[in-house]
Amino acid sequence: MPSWEPLAGLWRSRSAALGLGLIAFVLGVALFGPAVAPHDPFRTAPLERLAAPSAAHPFGTDSLGRDILSRVIHGARISILIGLISVSISLFPGTLLGLLAGYFGGRLDSVIMRAMDMLLAFPAILLAIFITAILGPSLPNTMIAVGVVYIPHYARIVRSSVLALKEQLFVQAIAHLGGGHGRILFRHVLPNALPPIIVYATLGMGTAVLQAAALGFLGLGAQPPQPEWGVMLSEGRQYLQIAPHVAAFPGGAIFILVLGFNLLGDGLRDVLDPTLRAL
């Protein structure tokens, strides 16, 4: 079994601590912000359109007079949900495929990895656009598209770990003692392959938020009037010269959340990778 003692020192990493703080802040906003949002994020006020930040509207208003602060607060819940569901869609199939390919090898390995190579041949954003265009523009389809795009990444990471682990003496000993393939894979190999999976999944949360925001910006993700940050950026891009706050605040929210996941992922990599801990 892997040793999780290094996680006790995660808080000593400044980057990881900052990343956790940023993620906790956005998560707190997502959980409790909608209850204290100053305005209805869908209420329009044409007479207050493109108003600058003020006491009544700390982030200003958009082209329809909607309060941007309230929309950013409600958008935090959508972005967290996008990250969790998208990563889950890619994590579980990718992990299973990587386990099977690395452990059994042979023709099964060739078939699985050639299929993964075909998916990796397409740029991630183009493949996500293609899938979303087929399924139709919507928030659920965006999460499916982003999740499918990153299945090969998890499959390759898990396969490389399994190839190394199955040559270890403890795995061979269990096999010689009559341990079944299922027991070896899920009780011994998978737990020891978890550290790189956890690191990549943490980084993948930020990537999923960025990809979903990009699809929303292009009109292929969440649809108006949903207060999704990518959609808000798209709506505000035509007012950058006269009302830059319309795009600046949702863009800043995306930056904070993605930075938090990236910093936490880097910190997890530092404490879970024994070669880095030895330096």
Backbone phi, psi, residue 227, to 5°: -80, 55
pLDDT tens string 89-123: 999 999 999 999 999 988 999 999 999 999 999 88
Q: Please give the structure tokens belonging to residue 109.
A: 């390995």
Query: What was the pLDDT predicted at 197?
Result: 92
CA-CA-CA-CA torsion sign (229, 266, 263, 158): positive
Helix (H, G, I), strand (E, B) or coil at 278: coil
Of 274, 268, 272, 275, nearest in space to 13 by CA = 268
Between the CA of residue 121 and those of 143, 153, 156, 170, 276, what are the distances in Å?
21, 12, 14, 37, 31
Identify the band that residue 215 occupies on the pLDDT scale cut at 50, 70 and 90: very high
Output the CATH code of domain 14-30+67-277: 1.10.3720.10
Mean of per-residue pLDDT scores for the chain: 89
With a CB cutoff of 8 Å and minimum separation 6, the contacts of 53 are 59, 60, 245
Q: Quick one: pLDDT at residue 278?
A: 44
Helices of type H across the chain: 14-36, 68-104, 106-120, 124-135, 139-149, 151-165, 169-176, 181-183, 190-217, 229-236, 245-272, 274-277
pLDDT tier at 17, thresholds 50, 70, 90: confident
pLDDT-based confidence at 13, cuts 50/70/90? confident
What is the per-residue pLDDT for 33?
86
Do the beta carbons of residue 147 and residue 90 sit within 8 Å?
A: yes
Report the pLDDT value the prediction gives residue 274, as an integer from 0 to 100. 54
pLDDT at 171: 76
In a 3-state reduction of DSSP, which class is residue 170?
Answer: helix
Q: Which DSSP string corresponds to 198-258?
A: HHHHHHHHHHHHHHHHHHHHTTSSS-TTS--HHHHHHHHGGGTTT-THHHHHHHHHHHHHH
Residue the block writes with tokens 């949360």: 205
pLDDT in tens, 218-251: 999 888 889 999 999 999 999 999 999 999 999 9
